[in-house]
Amino acid sequence: MIARGATPAGASNEREAASQVRRMFGRVARRYDLLNHLLSFQMDRWWRACTARRLSAILSRPDARVLDLCCGTGDLARALSRHAQARVYASDFCHPMLLAARGKLPRCPLFEGDALALPVASGSFDLLTVAFGFRNFANYRAGLAEALRVLKPGGALAILEFTTPPGRLFRALYRFYSAQILPRAGALISDAGDAYTYLPESVRKFPDAPTLKSELESAGFAEVEFTYMTCGVVALHVAYA
């Protein structure tokens, strides 16, 4: 049984959890890209490029419709668009993040929306992607059910997310980095130190990659696979509706 969803400090229900997450990303939006690249030693760019490569069969179809959920400042949608004949859309529920994405994605339709209740018709997308957003959902199962609703039959869901490295040594190193260094560096550079305390805490509480795979299967997804990247700091899950 996985955690129900993200639990930022002080949130006592899903509604409060979602609004805390939205406010927190609103506060980090201005410095988000800088911190992302810095704190991941630029690996975040590679993780998104690998994700786009993995999905190239769908992205190369001119008839395919793709939606990048939790698009933030737009880096994954931009990486997907580089490979795409498909029409790529992007959405997020945090307005300041979408404003930052706008400049990077001039040809990509953007809309504001909660990934747990998307303002789109059922069965309308061939591919949904979500990078570093799923972990923040107030209810993971509701997120998977909504993804199944908006995907066409046979459509794919790709989740790129931080996870628990499977190897003991690397796990210990990563835990030291995320508990001791990341929150301090985040607080120094951004105006929202709490966001960089929340980040390692939310990764610690998030299900590991095999558990997320089982959860995707019990939600009704088929052919679920995952790949670790960077010694298991992140995992890419791909699953089919």
Binding residues (CB under 6 A) for ligand SAM: these are: 18, 21-22, 25, 36, 70-72, 75-76, 92-94, 97, 114-116, 131-133, 136-137
Cα–Cα nearest to 162, from 147, 173, 174: 174
Q: How far is the CB of 125 from ligand SAM (least distance, A)?
A: 15
Q: What does the block give as tokens for 15?
A: 């509604």
Q: 97 or 235: whose CB is closer to ligand SAM?
A: 97
Overall size of the chain counted in residues:
241
Beta strands in 29-106 (DSSP E): 65-69, 87-92
Show Cβ contacts of residue 1 under 8 Å, excluding neighbours closer than 6 positions: none
Q: How far is the CB of 240 from ligand SAM (least distance, A)?
A: 21
Q: 17 or 239: whose CB is closer to ligand SAM?
A: 17
Q: How far is the CB of 159 from ligand SAM (least distance, A)?
A: 11
Q: How far is the CB of 138 from ligand SAM (least distance, A)?
A: 7
Q: How far is the CB of 25 from ligand SAM (least distance, A)?
A: 4
In the chain, % helix, strand, coil (3-state, to 5) comes to 50, 20, 30
Q: 164 or 202: whose CB is closer to ligand SAM?
A: 202
Q: 93 or 196: whose CB is closer to ligand SAM?
A: 93
Q: Which residue is nearest to ligand SAM (CB)?
A: 72
Q: 58 or 101: whose CB is closer to ligand SAM?
A: 101
